[in-house]
Chains A and B, each alone.
Chain A
Amino acid sequence: MNDQDKHWLLRKENIRKLWMIFIAILAVTVVAGFFVHQHDHFGIEDSVGFFAWYGFITCVGMVVFAKLLGVFLKRPEDYYDSESGAGTDKVEVDHD
């Protein structure tokens, strides 16, 4: 498919533009932080861009943590079906 036939949201140059707009908005929120005073309950919320870096870092942390946990917890989709299917039959055979 030609790039021009695609929906405008899917065209490469527009995706780049969207990123620029997004980054500009991010910058605006951080700059706006200079003009408001956060109520300082814990001595850190009023520091520059606290919510920005805290939101970013914790989200990266959660994604990485989920990824690591996934190594141990992820199983194929039919994990229970294949296992339980065989098990169910076995019960039925044994039970009269």
Chain B
Amino acid sequence: MTELLFPPGLLLVIGGLLMPLGAKIRNTLIFILPVLCMILIWSAPANYVVTLPFLGFELEPIKITTTGRLFATVFSLMALVGGIFAYKQASALELSAAFVYAGSAIGVTLAGDLITLFVFWEIMAIGSTLVIWAARHDAAYRASIRYLMVHLLGGLLLMIGIAGHVVETGSIRFEALELESISQYLILAGFLINAGAPPLSAWIADAYPEASPSGSVFLSAFTTKTAVFTLLIAFPGTWLLIPIGIYMIFYGIIYALLENDMRRILAYSIVNQVGFMVTGIGLGTEMALNGAAAHAFAHIIYKALLLMSAGAVLYQTGKRRCTDLGGLFQTMPWTALLGIIGALAISSFPFTSGFISKSMIAQSAADQHLAIVWFALAAASAGVFLHAGIKFPWFVFFQKDSGMRPAEAPRNMLLAMVVFAVFCVGLGVYPEPLYAILPFTVTYEPYTAAHLVAQFQLLLFAGLAFFVMLPMMKRTLTISLDFDWFYRFVFKYLGVAVVSQTSRARSQLENKAQATLQRLLNYLDKHHGVTGILSQTWPTGSMVLWIGVILGSYLLFDIVF
């Protein structure tokens, strides 16, 4: 084949920019570009690198690694199936932005150096912000600005870190980094902000649920999983990531349990799922890294499926709160069934994709005899079923009868959901193709009798706990405070205080300056004004007299000297 010289991610970015040109062009590009991208990625030989000299550095805009190819593949798949879900209902702006967003995420996964990575990283922030904007309502706009602020902060930390790293080591290569100085910590912080790590986890649940029904499907896939990819390459086995990951896991569960908005429940569970991956990266064994990568792959698919089913419900009913929903399984049976498949997959039910991926992470914690980590992961697995696996389908499709009888979702939406549901079950039953493209050789066997029994016990008794505790889980019309309280409330009021104080100081200063100026004007007026002594009109006679005096004095001087 011809050599691959053009970054496959850039293909989607440029295609996305062409999409506003017309519906026909858009609908063609949506289906062709992701497929073309996948072909390009897979036809290039392994460890294929393209270099480009730039300002004395050797850029690597394309570098095909096993891990990068895995993520680029699932990102392309997501762009394609997300496109099927969205192309009839979404606006041109949203589709265009979504493809720029997807393309830049693919660009990151195939970047061989930190400069290329950073450029795509920032395009991603712009693309995703525009996807939120495309919902075109006031709350979405404000949420998108908060979202952009968080990501610009993350990008800034990353840029400072990269600059420092390049100065210290002279290398721009994107590879495993040692946490030696503040630069590497800043790079880590930049990556972690995009992963939804504490303290800035709130942006996910703040921004994603404000997007359009299809917008949140795109958003769920790229930003956090690109962060997982970068952590996987740059910081495998970093001990610090284990507590951060475990915090994220439980943060997601607890906040999702408190939540009433169906898409916000799913947004919190993104943090929870990424927490599993971050923990796996922190554990750092080959099996744990395989687990994190496989889980990212599986997660993108089932999370998109869940958000598609929530999006279809929102599209058909216009409602997003659990308190307004319920009983929809009667008229939206397919959306309900496909949503339940996604819910089972996220809960790692046997014979779904979550089962064959997540268990590798827990297994490697057991192999390393990390008791606290293992017990936390086991409890969290039960908790996932609790907060997403049952809670989402129960409150949306069953619960009480809301009285609503919406029609089944549009056909293109159902088709997208069917494709991803097939992947959820297919990968669960037949994981070998996924195992074959993981970063390391897989020696793990998910289907043992012991594992099946353990998982069924854990999940089904978690289900029992859900129904026993149901009275305590009554939904309320509330939101939950999070770290964003600081920037939406405290900082805001500090800001308002600063603005009002400084504007008061300014107006006082202005008054003072005006008073001084007035005094000066008064003084001038006194001498040069209408009645001022220097602006009076003089009679011609006095003029002649004074000229006579001057000329006379000349004469006098001439005689005397």
Q: Which of B378, B457, B458, B463 has the most CB of A within 10 A?
A: B457
**Interchain CA distance A53-B16 in the complex, whole Å:** 51
**Contacts of A17-42 to chain B: CB distance below 8 A:** 22, 25-26, 29-30, 32-33, 35-39, 41-42
CB distance from B94 to the nearest CB of A (A): 24
- Which B residues touch A53, using CB under 8 A? 461
Is the CB of B36 closer than 8 A to any CB of chain A?
no
- Which A residues touch B453, using CB under 8 A? 29, 32-33, 36, 38, 51
**Interchain CA distance A95-B453 in the complex, whole Å:** 65
Q: Take A26-B464, A36-B450 as given contacts and tell me if A59 and B386 are in contact as well, using a CB distance cutoff of 8 Å.
A: yes
- Which A residues touch B367, using CB under 8 A? 41
Is the CB of B14 closer than 8 A to any CB of chain A?
no
Q: Are B454 and A62 in contact, CB atoms less than 8 angstroms apart?
A: no
**Interchain CA distance A59-B253 in the complex, whole Å:** 10
- Which B residues touch A87, using CB under 8 A? 492-493, 496
Nearest first, the 8 A-B pairs at minimum CB distance are A59-B465, A51-B457, A58-B379, A66-B257, A55-B382, A55-B458, A55-B461, A56-B461
Q: Are B499 and A51 in contact, CB atoms less than 8 angstroms apart?
A: no
Residue B458 contacts which of A54, A83, A84 (CB distance < 8 angstroms)?
A54
Residue A51 contacts which of B398, B458, B482 (CB distance < 8 angstroms)?
B458
Is the CB of B401 closer than 8 A to any CB of chain A?
yes
| Extra 9 A-B pairs, beta carbons < 8 Å, given A51-B454, A59-B383 | A9-B329, A22-B463, A51-B457, A52-B460, A54-B458, A55-B378, A59-B386, A62-B250, A62-B379
Q: Are B457 and A63 in contact, CB atoms less than 8 angstroms apart?
A: no
- Which B residues touch A25, using CB under 8 A? 460
Q: Are A41 and B366 in contact, CB atoms less than 8 angstroms apart?
A: yes
**Interchain CA distance A87-B496 in the complex, whole Å:** 7
Q: Take A29-B453, A56-B461, A83-B489 as given contacts and tell me if A62 and B496 are in contact as well, using a CB distance cutoff of 8 Å.
A: no
Q: Are A39 and B401 in contact, CB atoms less than 8 angstroms apart?
A: no
* Of B123-131, B233-241, B290-298, B473-481, the one touching chain A: B473-481
Please encode chain B, from 89 to 107, with 1 for each CB lying within 8 Å of some chain A CB and 0 for all others: 0000000000000000000
Q: Are A60 and B258 in contact, CB atoms less than 8 angstroms apart?
A: no
**Interchain CA distance A66-B458 in the complex, whole Å:** 20
**Contacts of B466-499 to chain A: CB distance below 8 A:** 466, 468-469, 472-473, 476-482, 488-489, 492-493, 495-496, 499
- Which A residues touch B493, using CB under 8 A? 87
Please encode chain B, from 400 to 438, with 1 for each CB lying within 8 Å of some chain A CB and 0 for all others: 010000000000000000000000000000000000000
Residue A91 contacts which of B375, B472, B499 (CB distance < 8 angstroms)?
B499
Q: Take A42-B371, A63-B386 as given contacts and tell me if A77 and B479 are in contact as well, using a CB distance cutoff of 8 Å.
A: yes
CB distance from A7 to the nearest CB of B (A): 5
Q: Quick one: closest A residue to B321, CB to CB?
A: A77
**Interchain CA distance A58-B250 in the complex, whole Å:** 12
**Interchain CA distance A80-B477 in the complex, whole Å:** 14
Q: Are A36 and B374 in contact, CB atoms less than 8 angstroms apart?
A: no
Q: Are A70 and B462 in contact, CB atoms less than 8 angstroms apart?
A: no
